[in-house]
């Protein structure tokens, strides 16, 4: 009788090493941003032919090094949530679907960050159909997302209560990343596809 063997792939991740890696690449992007702004006080690197260097490290622009670092971070975080979802599913835990939700959200944000969907499609359409507001609600489509955010937060409160201390901290790290992503894309200062001056 032929013996059937089950093969499993074991993935071992060190939270400390993963955290240090993500922190390191963010630190590199942040250092590049600071350096070009410091250099801009002494050299005209905002104009041709050095403008490309300034744009490459400038966190207030898009389609550059910080943008792809952000997309990579979101992609890795989504992948980790996917691994957790798979593990929790095997254990038949209730919270597994919450991890899947985080996985899909982060992967979608990674795609948006890399492809600049918010600049090329969402931003222009929101201004064309809804017009522009002022201050925090410069983009009026925020009003449609506020109820969605409220519902998502309500759904995830029971999930948050079940987390261990490590996952509790990691969860807030993820949402801190979401806040950072929103702050980067809420002021309309992207480069070069969509900015306020082009639509004034």
As a dihedral over the C-alpha atoms of residue 68, residue 122, residue 109, residue 69, rounded to 10 degrees, the angle is: 10
User: Residue 3 falls within a domain, yes or no?
Assistant: no
User: Residue 134 falls within a domain, yes or no?
Assistant: yes
User: Residue 154 falls within a domain, yes or no?
Assistant: yes
How high is the pLDDT of residue 148?
A: 77
pLDDT digits (tens, 9 = 90+) for 78-127: 998 898 898 888 887 777 888 899 899 889 889 988 888 877 887 788 78
User: Residue 114 falls within a domain, yes or no?
Assistant: yes
Report residue 183 as tokens.
Answer: 């702050």
User: pTM here?
Assistant: 0.70
User: Residue 54 falls within a domain, yes or no?
Assistant: yes
Task: Reduce the DSSP state of residue 133 to 3 states and report it.
Answer: coil
pLDDT digits (tens, 9 = 90+) for 160-172: 777 765 565 555 5
User: Residue 45 falls within a domain, yes or no?
Assistant: yes
User: Residue 6 falls within a domain, yes or no?
Assistant: no
Instruction: Find the domain containing 85 and state its range.
Output: 17-199
Report residue 69 as tokens.
Answer: 């670092």
Task: Reduce the DSSP state of residue 35 to 3 states and report it.
Answer: helix
- Cβ pair 129, 178 in contact under 8 A: no
Domain count, the chain: 1
User: Residue 182 falls within a domain, yes or no?
Assistant: yes
């Amino acid at each position: 009788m032929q013996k059937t063997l089950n093969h499993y792939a074991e993935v071992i991740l060190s939270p400390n090493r993963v955290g240090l890696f993500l922190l390191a690449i963010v630190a590199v992007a942040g250092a590049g941003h600071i350096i070009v702004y410091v250099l801009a006080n002494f050299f005209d690197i905002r104009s041709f032919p050095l403008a490309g260097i300034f744009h490459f490290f400038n966190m207030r622009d898009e389609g550059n090094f910080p943008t792809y670092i952000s997309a990579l971070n979101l992609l890795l975080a989504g992948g980790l949530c996917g691994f957790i979802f798979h593990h929790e599913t095997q254990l038949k835990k209730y919270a597994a679907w919450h991890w899947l939700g985080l996985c899909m959200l982060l992967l979608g944000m990674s795609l948006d960050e890399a492809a600049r969907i918010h600049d090329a499609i969402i931003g222009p359409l929101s201004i064309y159909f809804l017009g522009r507001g002022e201050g925090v609600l410069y983009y009026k489509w925020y009003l449609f997302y506020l109820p969605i955010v409220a519902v998502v937060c309500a759904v995830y409160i029971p999930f948050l209560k079940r987390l261990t201390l490590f996952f509790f901290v990691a969860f807030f790290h993820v949402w801190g990343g979401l806040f950072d992503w929103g702050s980067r894309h809420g002021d309309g200062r992207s480069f070069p596809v969509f900015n306020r001056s082009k639509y004034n």
